[in-house]
Structure 1
């Protein structure tokens, strides 16, 4: 059998010079930002914007070793139902050593040719407290504040590099978050400036006045890498321990705030706009909210894969009704975008069997995701005078999932950083539903809304009594 062809960089990688340090070389970055740059380089442009990779966790050393062994090339396999496509992405030219104190990372970011520092450190990696402020009690943040010259966090290292640039008369770099956070640039600014204020108020004011933190919306489904993904790379004749698989779809929307310059990423498909928040709201409510809507009934029904959940008529009917009646109507307009058409694309993406995304992954970290993806839509519906029973049911399904068993009685393995607390609270909520809504870090003032509390209590009781399947059937018929 003929080995399928692999697309290789069409440009001379030896001519690339660095312009970006990227912290957090996970699958998403390598299938997203790195791919956009790879395509720009293939156009013969932006060759002074190559990536230097970096990490601040001991586990990042394994990724560095794997990528260094293959000249920093990443295998990216697009999982199109019509046929898989593999490419080797060459946008990264180095990966800094992982070390205590981050001296190499600080030194690299202090160099004048580095004009952008970008980040994918996960949604939970920004040290934010439930009120949306920097958690100054966090041990890592406190340690960096006490030892700013030998920081252990990405943000401490960024501040050390900015301080060095300031002292040497080098303009600051732009800090660009590529994490899936509402207002990711604004959040990053809060963290960086907030940390600086703990040990150097003058530096904090200088950063606040001089450093740009553009907001951006990012989107591409990239499953975790395991034996399945390594076997796919082998099908293309590649012995790669860290290949990335991803759906064909990708999107990147950015504010054009790069005073130190930027690559011409619009030529590779990036949308630069002042309306990032509109795109972001659309994605968070329709896509991320949609993931949560299918995840918990799927988990309670013992469904393993997302595409299998989309093959369950009750789940897709639940999703369709909820999106069309309770989510899309409260999403603000987005430039040049039909929201119904956008949802149709999302539905198709969820149904892609090649991605093999898991229901368990979608259920992960609900305590961090629900207040971003579901609760805002509940609040907006209430502000419009509507009682969103479907969204409330979706939250009740999350509560039931966190009780730690599926409808069949199978155990649910811990699936949240606060799993033990959530499980105890979910079991308490079986007899006292207000115990669940009392989580202010998730629900805010929702517990003060008597109609929501009543609807949640009824939904949770029904889920416990009848199971997810029967409750979805009743909702769909209503």
Structure 2
């Protein structure tokens, strides 16, 4: 242990007195640095001790996380990467991690227990079975078709939720609230669509009951949480902790939720959670400014072999590009947010991106563009076009993504697959080098903006310029 570091903060409550009230599906880094930390704080002030977490997973790899956490009494190491000094804590909000089985029997049984009043999820943006072409729930997804054919032994989180809700209805037990903690626009609406849509395939009466009786509050979540690797495990060791799955995160965190919990909820407002009917306003601000900002700096950095996000922010061309796109083409179309100054919010975003302790990678920001671009960038393009504003910078963001999907950096380094649709994107990006319009056939990404002459023309010009003169030169030209 490094004697110069502050002592590890331990749970400030008797964990043996906790009772589970929440089942959480998806025990990745974000959940353990966000929701679990808020609950740990709340338990520490002596409140809501009947709202502890039962962890759960529905994928085979979740079993490895279960093994790691159960071996350390379900304590998670969370290290805050403050530039003024790292701080570590052991988060004790989870009291058990359910066995991970293909048929989810243990998970369904736990969710059927009347003591469970919330089921929450972090299953990633791509885990909600959304048809990218329509933006709606996709009932033809193979996993959904399989669950509909065998609803008593479901393999998906939504199938398990539905089976538990059906059992509670049969037993006359009030349904739990289903709360998505994923970074999705209208995440409550999306989750409702998945659960109800699956029910409609096998039990329309149950689908009607879910629609009428189950709450799916929308929420906005925010905390930058890098992936865990050797560096993060070494940090835990510096604090004297032998933890194979520590979590690192920035100091900042935010959670904004609709107060729609018919079966009750923990008193999270005591520890900084905002309950409001205006989640959509906070959500749009965050998705457009923060997530759109991440997409803006991701691909120029990825192409110029910049490894870390804070290094990208220190690069005058990338940082200047972010400033101009945000101030001229993103922020002007973000509606007002209660008690929030958008310029100050963007200044905070810049500060967070620039934190050298986080060591977030450009590659992580480049991940899954086919799912993220239509959520984080294309809506800003659509609004700017509708208002008659410039889309030159956003077209360049899109062209940089296309150039990245060619699969080779400007330094000649091969880019390892970095998207679920990589095998489709690479041939399109290579064809687009000669004919940029080919890229805009990704209608599930661009929708109607692909047919807008102003955007299509700007995109084509930017992509041709990137191939002719390179990223740095094109950024410089854009900045003028």
Q: Does TM, scored on the shorter chain, surpass 0.5?
A: yes
Deviations along 1:137-190, whole A, 9 cap, x unmatched?
222111110110011111000000000000000000000000000000000000
Q: Which runs of 5+ in 1 are unaligned?
A: none
Q: Does 1:268 align with 2:271?
A: yes
Q: Please name the residue that 1:362 is paired with.
A: 365
Greater Cα offset, 185-194 or 128-137: 128-137
For 1:335 and 1:100, the matched residues in 2 are separated by 44
Farther off after superposition, 409-418 or 31-40: 409-418
The 3-state SS of whatever aligns with 2:269 is: helix
Give yes or no for the alignment of 1:84 onto 2:83: no
Partner of 1:177: 180
1:43 aligns with 45
Q: Residues 329 and 390 of structure 2 are in contact (CA less than 8 Å); yes or no, is this contact kept in structure 1?
A: no
Cα distance in 2 for residues equivalent to 1:41 and 1:348 = 30
Distance across 1 between alignment mates of 2:268 and 2:158: 25
How far did residue 448 of structure 1 move? 1.6
- Taking the TM superposition and a 5 Å limit, the aligned residue runs for 1:177-256 are 177-256=180-259
Matches of 1:286 and 1:61, distance apart in 2: 35
1:122 alignment counterpart = 124
> Following the alignment from structure 1 to structure 2, what is the Cα–Cα distance between the partners of residues 163 and 18?
21
Match of 1:93 in 2: 95
For 2:390 and 2:326, the matched residues in 1 are separated by 14
Render the CA deviation track for 1:295-332: whole Å, top value 9, x for unaligned.
00001101011011111001101101111111111100
1:133 aligned partner: 136
Q: Which residues in structure 2 correspond to 1:341-380 (within 5 Å)?
A: 341-380=344-383
How far apart, CA to CA, are the structure 2 residues paired with 1:164 and 1:455?
Answer: 55
In the alignment, is residue 108 of structure 1 matched against residue 110 of structure 2?
yes
3-state secondary structure, aligned to 1:420 = helix
Residues 447-470 of structure 1: per-residue CA shift (max 9 Å, x gap):
221111111111110001100000
Offset at residue 48 of structure 1 (A): 0.3
Match of 1:278 among 278, 281, 302: 281
Q: Which moved more, 1:159-168 or 1:123-132?
A: 123-132
Query: C-alpha displacement at 1:434, in angstroms?
Result: 1.2
Contact 2:328–2:390 (CA under 8 A) maintained in structure 1: no
* Aligned counterpart in structure 1 of residue 30 of structure 2, from 28, 43, 50: 28
CA distance in 2, matches of 1:175, 1:91: 19
1:414 alignment partner, one of 392, 417, 421: 417
- In the aligned structure 2, how far is the partner of 1:65 from the partner of 1:410? 37
Shift of 1:268: 0.8
Per-residue deviation, 1:4: 3.4
* CA deviation after TM superposition for structure 1 residue 429, in Å: 1.1
- Once the two structures are TM-superposed, the CA of residue 100 in structure 1 deviates from its matched residue by 2.0
Cα distance in structure 1, aligned partners of 2:450 and 2:195: 33
Which residue in 2 is equivalent to 1:5?
7
Instruction: Give me the whole-angstrom Cα distance separating, in 1, the residues matched to 2:227 and 2:442.
Output: 30
The whole-number CA distance in structure 1 between the counterparts of 2:126 and 2:14 is 37
Q: Which runs of 5+ in 2 are unaligned?
A: none
TM-score, normalised by the number of residues in structure 1: 0.99
The alpha-carbon deviation at position 387 of structure 1 amounts to 2.9
What CA distance in whole angstroms lies between the structure 2 residues aligned with 1:410 and 1:237? 38
Q: Is the 8 A contact 1:56 1:154 kept in 2?
A: yes
In structure 1, distance between residues paired with 2:215 and 2:395: 38
Contact 1:387 / 1:452 at 8 angstroms: preserved in 2? no
Distance 1:319 1:71 in 2: 43
In 2, Cα distance between equivalents of 1:404 and 1:205 = 47
Aligned to 2:478: 475
* Distance in 1 (alpha carbons) for counterparts of 2:42 and 2:266: 8
Give the conservation status (yes or no) of the 8 Å contact 1:178–1:217.
yes
Report the TM-score when normalising by structure 2: 0.99
Partner residue of 2:17? 15
Q: CA deviation at 1:134?
A: 2.1
Aligned to 1:148: 151
Paired residue secondary structure (2:131) = coil
Task: Please state whether the residue corresponding to 1:409 is helix, strand or coil.
Answer: coil
Given candidates 392, 397, 406, the residue that maps to 1:394 is 397
2:109–2:164: 8 Å Cα contact kept in structure 1? yes
For the residues of structure 2 that align with 1:41 and 1:163, how far apart are their CA atoms? 31
What is the deviation of 1:431? 1.6
Show CA shifts across 1:18-63 (max 9, x none): 1000000000000000000000000100000000000011111111
RMSD (Å), alpha carbons: 0.8
Matched, 1:330 2:368: no
User: Secondary structure of the equivalent of 1:94?
Assistant: strand
Which moved further from structure 2: 431-440 or 76-85? 431-440
Does the CA contact (< 8 Å) of 1:17 and 1:48 recur in 2? yes
Shift of 1:406: 1.1
Structure 2 counterpart SS, 1:6: coil
